[in-house]
Amino acid sequence: MKTMIHAGELGPGDRLPPERRLCAMLEVSRSTLREGLIALRADGYLEARRGARGGTFISRLDEPYARWLASMRSDKGRLRDIMDIRSAVECEIARLAAERGTEAQCDELAATLAADGSEFGPRQFREADAQFHGLLAEAAASPRLKTLMTEARGELFTPASTPLIDEPTIARSHAEHRAILEAVRARDSLRAAQSMREHLHSTFVDVSSVIDGPHLRDA
């Protein structure tokens, strides 16, 4: 669940499903789930709300994000390590998607890009980004690569409130997603992999600027 939060599949204010459904989704027992939820609450990822509309919700994430940022700043090689893994896995995913993806899957990918990226807010962008990469992995038809991608994406943490997600960045990332999809739809596996490589390089530069501090963003 922490991976899903980091990757943008769950965000601040989202209400968690009932325990029974969560157990089925995560394929864990109820006792294991409850232990995990307690740990996530202690780490600041979840909050409980009372009343008729109460339940367990994703928090604002300020505290866990601050801890993640401090951790990344203390180990300057960690980001490059994560992005090396993402590049190795996701470029291969893009290549395989171009070879194996169906027209229906390409249409699903296109649906995530239907709106102009510049019109997205930070929250909508994170959701569309997670959906695009997840659908691309489905089109690659390699469950193990998808698992590796999910784990690597979950090691990054870019809440909607971070300076990383601004209008120019959203528009550029949206355009890069379009380039990947165009290559996949054209069955051009080499161009799909290269487009993904360029997209991930942009991500590396963006996240580096946030980790290093806003004073380096315009350098």
The CATH 1.10.10.10 portion of the chain extends over 2-60
Amino acid at 174: H
Work out the average pLDDT over 126-131.
Answer: 88
Amino acid at 208: S
Please tell me the predicted confidence (pLDDT) of residue 177.
96
User: CA-to-CA distance for 185 and 195, rounded, in angstroms?
Assistant: 13
In b/e form, how buried is each residue of 132-152, taking b as 16+ CB within 10 angstroms?
bbbbbbbbbbbeebbebbbeb
User: CA-to-CA distance for 58 and 4, rounded, in angstroms?
Assistant: 11
**Domain 64-216 in CATH 2.60.120.380:** no
Distance (Å) of CA 14 to CA 6, 56, 61: 13, 9, 12
Count how many Cα atoms sit within 13 Å of the Cα of residue 212 in the half-sphere of its side chain: 14
**Tens of pLDDT, residues 175-190:** 999 999 999 999 999 9
Architecture of the domain delimited by 2-60: Orthogonal Bundle (1.10)
Please tell me the predicted confidence (pLDDT) of residue 37.
92
Q: Which residue has the higher pLDDT, 188 or 121?
A: 188
**pLDDT band at 97, cuts 50/70/90?**
very high
Work out the average pLDDT over 159-166.
Answer: 66
**pLDDT band at 217, cuts 50/70/90?**
very low
Averaged pLDDT of the chain: 89
Please tell me the predicted confidence (pLDDT) of residue 186.
98
**Cβ-proximal residues to 203 (8 Å cutoff; 6+ apart), any chain:** 83, 86, 173
**Tens of pLDDT, residues 44-78:** 999 988 887 788 999 988 899 999 999 999 998 99
Q: Per-residue pLDDT for 15 more than 80?
A: yes
The CATH 1.20.120.530 portion of the chain extends over 64-216
User: CA-to-CA distance for 202 and 145, rounded, in angstroms?
Assistant: 21
**pLDDT band at 164, cuts 50/70/90?**
low
Are 59 and 45 within 8 A, CB to CB? yes
pTM of the model: 0.83
Residue 76, helix vs strand vs coil = coil
